[in-house]
């Protein structure tokens, strides 16, 4: 009886599209303003991560021998991993959502290819963020700077979510705001 109820719940339950700029990649036409808005901010994040990664050095001068700083870095490893919202979202999407034809009802542009492209772009974003986070953490010499760098990188990780919220609140015009309501209509069946 309980397994039957769980199966019927899974059949009824649909999971929403995430609310960030990656949703524009899925829901909007390729030549639309929201699609290119999302592409711009995704590329800006990639460029910033690339600049930060290129500045991370392997020199011995950055390796701190102070044990307390090393202990703090060790305990911050799980924090660095759990901060990676994009990686967790990709995992949740792949593990819990499946694509079906009903996804295209609200937007005919929400093809399976675009869902895959958005997830791959989000995965790359998460991996770059994790690499920068670990690199900066290993390069930092003081406990205070470790925490300050975590705060700065945390802000950078959520910049795309912030711009999605600004679009949602109408800061970029009605057509862009409509794209967020379109994104909210898209849902996926549970895997």
Single pTM value for the model: 0.84
Identify the pLDDT of residue 63. 59
Q: What is the pLDDT of residues 3-50, one digit of tens each?
A: 555 555 555 688 898 889 999 999 999 999 999 999 999 999 999 999
Helix, strand, coil percentages (3-state) for the chain, rounded to 5, are 75, 5, 20
Range name among 25-34, 51-60, 98-107 with the lowest pLDDT average: 51-60
Alpha-helical segments (H) within 105-173: 112-139, 143-157, 159-168
Identify the pLDDT of residue 75. 85
What is the C-alpha separation between 22 and 16, in angstroms, rounded?
Answer: 13
Sign of the four-CA dihedral 138, 141, 147, 153: negative
């Amino acid at each position: 009886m309980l397994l039957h109820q769980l199966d019927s719940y899974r059949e009824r339950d649909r999971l929403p599209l995430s609310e960030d700029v990656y949703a524009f990649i899925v829901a909007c036409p390729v030549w639309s303003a929201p699609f290119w808005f999302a592409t711009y901010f995704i590329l800006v994040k990639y460029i910033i991560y690339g600049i930060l990664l290129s500045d991370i050095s392997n020199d011995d001068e950055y390796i701190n021998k102070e044990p307390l700083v090393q202990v703090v870095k060790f305990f911050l490893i799980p924090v660095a991993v759990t901060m990676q919202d994009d990686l967790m979202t990709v995992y949740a999407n792949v593990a819990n959502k499946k694509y079906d034809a009903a996804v295209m009802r609200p937007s005919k542009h929400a093809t399976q290819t675009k869902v895959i492209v958005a997830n791959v772009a989000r995965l790359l974003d998460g991996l770059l963020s994790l690499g920068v986070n670990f690199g900066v953490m290993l390069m930092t010499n003081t406990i205070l700077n470790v925490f300050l760098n975590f705060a700065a990188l945390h802000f950078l990780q959520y910049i795309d979510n912030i711009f999605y919220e600004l679009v949602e609140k109408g800061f970029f015009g009605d057509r862009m705001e409509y794209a967020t309501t379109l994104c909210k209509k898209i849902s996926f069946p549970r895997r």
